Amino acid sequence: MILSVALVLSTVALAGCDSAKKKRPTYDGVPFKIKTKPVDKKVSRANFIVQVLDANQSLDGARLAAAHAGVSYCLSEAGYGTSDITWDVNPRDPEAQLRLVDGTAVFQGTCAS
């Protein structure tokens, strides 16, 4: 009986992990892990950094993920209410040289006020 309960609980826990991964949006078919944070929140939340982990899986997808994360950050987290961003390297420009650090694409932007 205890073994059956443990088996059911572990199956449910694993299913929960799988469904959370499936809910992550994909960019060029890749569900990137993305980190967005202010450069220095004590100074201004307008200046931010986006990190797209394992960007080598799809550089085009990493660009799309960064652009989306930047817009989400400016609209929601920073509270600027606009999707206008000045980028150091524009992720929407396919000709712009990406900055990769150990496989992570790094972008820096400033929310327009």
pLDDT of residue 76: 85
Distance, CA of 46 to CA of 40 (rounded, Å)? 9
pLDDT of residue 113: 73
Who contacts 106 (Cβ-Cβ below 8 Å, separation ≥6)? Answer: 49, 50, 51, 99, 100
pLDDT of residue 22: 59
pLDDT of residue 36: 96
Residue numbers of the chain with a pLDDT score lower than 70:
1-22
Domain residue spans of the chain: 26-111
Tokens of 93: 């420009």
pLDDT tens per residue, range 50-68: 999 999 999 999 999 999 9
Strand-pair category, 34-40 with 100-101: unpaired
